[in-house]
């Protein structure tokens, strides 16, 4: 993983190495960043540390320009490690000062779910484009406020749905749209992981984020954590939006999960043409599935080797391996750094004034689906219409 300014410059694809030889460090940094948009990470937790920050040096259109954090000392450590100036460290309370930071164009919000809305709105009011992690917020009302704030400030709002730039998922959707399995019939989509096992083990419990157990921070349980991925998969693979949802929640380990934080959410999404998506998000064990069926066959995304996952992101700057299988035949696709590619696409859309596919409207759509699932659970599994 690149950890110094020198290695940052070495990996930058925007500048030819010979052109930098002999320049002072400050001049090299300025040259390497020319034409790129500066990104400030809002939140320096595990996801920023393990996945986003290690990918930024690989990006062609953005550079790691600053940080917003509740720990100034940590901010200084990151500035030294990644080569951004210490003047570009802000606290959450003084995000309004971002308005004076000319070298910051994008704020990437990576804080707990219930803070996505206030941090997005603060960044937008400071005149910065915003990329926000999933889920977009903990309610559709918050999503609408975020969209309104971005529109009022004249900035772009994106949601970190990185799989729209992941080659296996992109090719899977293209194969389905091209008729690889005929008229789409149904699909099975799941993102579950063994959080319960970590919580039950005192030593492993020390290594994981416990804020997921606080409904006020998360909005709910497994559905708000990983359930957005099955929703995204169902919509991306079909190219359509569901019209109704049914949800069924359960919690086996009531000693580990408080009320309002479900351990497992199984849900059904139905589409206007009759397509049915069976989905699940659970903390009971690790299992991923992205399988779409039709009368002519099946399109699957599978974990790659030696240790990949269907929906997983990169870790420490290394791609997460995946496989695409169409009607039992492996289709080659690259394993890429998804977050770097997504931020590059966001920067390109900002610079060119073109649409960004994973925008605030898409994030709002998904939270409305989440709300319909929870409403169904509250009504004993009754089918609930999804607000368009």
Q: Structural domain boundaries of the chain?
A: 5-159, 166-336+358-385
Return the H-helix or E-strand segment holding 22: none
CB of 65 closer than 8 Å to CB of 84: yes
Could you tell me if residue 306 is left (phi over 0), alpha (psi between -120 and 50 degrees) or otherwise beta? alpha
Q: 168-173: long-range contacts (C-beta < 8 A, 24 or more apart)?
A: 168/301, 168/322, 168/323, 168/324, 168/333, 169/233, 169/236, 169/290, 169/301, 171/324, 171/331, 171/333, 172/237, 172/290, 172/292, 172/299, 172/301, 172/324, 172/326, 173/236, 173/237, 173/239
Rg, C-alpha atoms of the chain: 21
Nearest of 328, 292, 301, 300 to residue 184 by alpha carbon: 292
Beta strands in the chain (DSSP E): 37-42, 62-68, 89-90, 106-109, 129-132, 157-159, 186-192, 244-250, 264-270, 276-282, 287-294, 297-303, 322-326, 329-331, 384-385
Alpha carbon 306 to chain centroid, angstroms = 23
Q: Whole-angstrom Cα distance, residue 54 to residue 66?
A: 14
CATH topology of domain 5-159: Rossmann fold (3.40.50)
Give the helix ranges, DSSP H, for 140-214: 140-153, 167-177, 195-200, 202-205
Nearest of 121, 150, 152, 117 to residue 136 by alpha carbon: 117
Alpha carbon 287 to chain centroid, angstroms = 19
Nearest of 281, 327, 335 to residue 303 by alpha carbon: 335
The pLDDT profile of the chain, 388 residues, written as one tens digit per residue, is 333 323 322 333 332 322 323 333 333 344 458 789 999 999 999 999 999 999 999 999 999 999 999 999 999 999 999 999 999 999 999 999 999 999 999 999 999 999 999 999 999 999 999 999 999 999 999 999 999 999 999 999 999 999 999 999 999 999 999 999 999 999 999 999 999 999 999 999 998 989 999 999 999 999 999 999 999 999 999 999 999 999 999 999 999 999 999 999 999 999 999 999 999 999 999 999 999 999 999 999 999 998 899 999 999 999 999 999 999 999 999 999 999 999 999 999 999 999 999 999 999 999 999 999 999 999 999 999 999 9
CATH number for the segment(s) 166-336+358-385 = 3.30.360.10
Q: Whole-angstrom Cα distance, residue 107 to residue 69?
A: 12
Cross-strand pairs, 38: 63
CB of 151 closer than 8 Å to CB of 122: no
Q: Whole-angstrom Cα distance, residue 179 to residue 94?
A: 52
Global pTM reads: 0.91
The torsion angle over the Cα atoms of residues 166, 171, 172 and 176, rounded to 10 degrees, is 150
The Cα angle at residue 365 between residues 272 and 276, in degrees rounded to 5: 30
Instruction: Mention every residue, 6+ apart, whose C-beta is less than 8 A from residue 347.
Output: 36, 37, 59, 61, 62, 105, 106
CB atoms within 10 A of CB 54: 23
């Amino acid at each position: 993983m690149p950890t110094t300014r020198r290695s940052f410059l070495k990996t930058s694809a925007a500048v030819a190495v010979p052109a930098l030889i002999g320049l002072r460090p400050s001049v090299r940094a300025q040259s390497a960043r020319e034409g790129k948009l500066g990104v400030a990470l809002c939140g320096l937790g595990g996801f920023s540390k393990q996945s986003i920050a290690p990918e930024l040096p690989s990006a062609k259109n953005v550079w790691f320009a600053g940080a917003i954090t509740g720990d100034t000392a940590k901010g200084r450590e990151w500035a030294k490690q990644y080569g951004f100036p210490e003047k570009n460290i802000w606290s959450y309370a003084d995000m309004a000062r971002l308005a004076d930071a000319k070298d910051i164009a994008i704020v990437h919000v990576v804080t707990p779910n219930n803070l996505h809305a206030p941090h997005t709105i603060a960044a937008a009011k400071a005149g910065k484009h915003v990329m926000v992690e999933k889920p977009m917020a903990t309610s559709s009302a918050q999503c609408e406020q975020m969209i309104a704030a971005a529109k009022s400030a004249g900035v772009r709002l994106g949601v970190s749905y990185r799989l729209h730039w992941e080659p296996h998922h992109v090719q899977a959707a293209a194969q389905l749209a091209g008729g690889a399995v005929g008229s789409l019939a149904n699909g099975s989509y799941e993102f579950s992981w063994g959080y319960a096992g970590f919580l039950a083990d005192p030593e492993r419990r020390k290594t994981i984020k416990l804020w997921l157990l606080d409904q006020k921070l998360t909005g709910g349980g497994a559905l708000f954590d990983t359930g957005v991925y099955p929703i995204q998969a169902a919509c991306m693979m079909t190219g359509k939006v569901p019209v109704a949802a049914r949800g069924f929640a359960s919690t086996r380990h009531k000693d580990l999960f408080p009320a309002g934080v479900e351990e497992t959410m199984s849900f059904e999404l139905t589409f206007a043409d009759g397509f049915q998506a069976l989905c699940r998000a659970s903390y009971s064990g690790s299992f991923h599935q992205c399988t779409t069926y039709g009368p002519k066959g099946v399109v699957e995304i599978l974990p790659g080797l030696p240790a990949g996952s269907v929906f997983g992101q990169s870790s420490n700057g290394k791609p997460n391996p995946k496989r695409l299988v169409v009607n039992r035949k492996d289709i080659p696709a690259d394993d890429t750094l998804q977050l770097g590619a997504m931020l590059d696409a966001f920067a390109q859309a900002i610079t060119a004034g073109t649409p960004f596919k994973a925008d605030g409207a898409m994030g709002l759509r998904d939270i409305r689906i989440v709300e319909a699932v929870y409403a169904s659970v509250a009504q004993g599994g009754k089918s609930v219409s999804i607000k368009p």
